[in-house]
Amino acid sequence: MNRFKDKKITLGVSSGIAIYKAVDLASRLRKTNAQLNIVMTEDAKKMISPVVFSAVGNCPVYSDYFNEVKDGWIPHTQLSMESDVFVVAPATSNIIAKIANGISDDLVSLIGLAFRKKAKIVVPTMNTRMYDSPAFQRNLKNLKNDGWTIVEPEVGHLACGEIGKGRYPDNEIIMEYIEKFLSPQDFKGKKILITAGPTVEPIDPVRNITNKSSGKMGYEIAKEFALRGAEVILISGPTNLKPSPLIKEIINITTAEEMLEAAKDKYENMNIIIMTAAVSDFKVKNASKQKIKKDKDSITLELIKNPDILKTIGKIKKENQLLVGFAAETNNLIEYAKKKLKEKNCDLIIANDVSKAETGFNVDYNEVYILNKLGDVTHVEKNTKKNIAINIADYISKLINS
């Protein structure tokens, strides 16, 4: 699903040193098939030619207010009314001060004042001392009070050579903030707990028992619910993935016992609990505190069962909480999933066959079956894990709103 397609997005560009990154943002937006318009301040044009933005964005670029008014078409009123989303990136201290205080002497600030929809985003980028100044923080607070969404700058090396807060964030983060405004908000006000990734059980300080889970499915599900307005808490085993900035809280764990304790600590106030994590079924009974030397031809490890996290939560969950489990199987998929649904006291089980190389662990595609307590089985055909997550969220949305 492409939520950007045919949506009208206006990108405002001011004269921050990070302006070259806005060219990449324009390119990304073009690739989504959104209807893009770009508005530049006069100083921004001195840093990068409008021709570059027009070519990369395949769209018109506006800057000179008087020259743009033609045949009754007034750019700041028309763009502010027609656009679904208005994003200012990069946003300098100057442009933020203008919009926050009602000053409108260029097209970017004019649109900022005239835009009445909720989907207005600003991406502040500047020297850290400017960012931390009382005057700027007052202006930023004013923008928040006026309903603007602030994409926080990152901490790192700045153009001046200093290290601090003020760096332009990754454009993928900005794209997620834009996508949230283009997504249904059917989970707004809902609190959702999601577990994801593998767990890791130590053998000794340098070796462990784990599984092939990458966490991709769980992270996509967490992102999808966050895009749709939910307050998401993600409990994650070790992965190489970057969680969505829209996720409210991330709890990193290593072992199954740590995941269980985190889940028990958070589950009570949740509306929905989705357990996608691939939890190690066994752990070493007496893990060595020192590295095991290879001077023996063989060693014997005694394995004992880990706690069953899904079953534990199934026993203590409330009647009004929806519990969703995952079943990763290599054979008898539906049979084992139905058994798990009953034994773990789940409301739904999402089953997938991990023996298939193209839809198993550590790949970008999946194919799942959703089973409910009534015995219904819904097949979601092979698709990207992002689209699988959308299908799962759609199913749960219909279920809780029916």
Catalytic sites, residue numbers: 160
Residue whose token pair is 């619910």 = 225
Q: Is 307 annotated as a binding residue?
A: yes
Among residues 212, 211, 201, 151, which one has the least CA distance to residue 176?
151
DSSP symbol at 126: -
Q: Distance between CA 284 and CA 269 in Å, rounded? A: 33
Q: Is 340 annotated as a binding residue?
A: yes
Q: Is 317 annotated as a binding residue?
A: no
**How many Cβ atoms sit within 10 Å of the Cβ of residue 182?**
18
**How many Cβ atoms sit within 10 Å of the Cβ of residue 119?**
19
Q: In what order do the strands lie in the sheet with 85-91?
A: 61-62, 35-40, 8-13, 85-91, 120-124, 149-150
Q: Is 309 annotated as a binding residue?
A: yes
Q: Which amino acid is at 303?
A: L
Q: Is 386 annotated as a binding residue?
A: no
Q: Is 140 annotated as a binding residue?
A: no
Q: What is the DSSP string of 252-311?
A: E--SHHHHHHHHHHHGGG-SEEEE--B--SEEETT--SSPPPS-SS-----EEEPP-HHH
Residue whose token pair is 């900005």 = 174
Residue 128 C-alpha from the chain's centroid = 26
Q: Is 291 annotated as a binding residue?
A: yes
Binding residues for CTP: 281, 291, 307-310, 326, 340, 344
* Binding residue positions: 281, 291, 307-310, 326, 340, 344
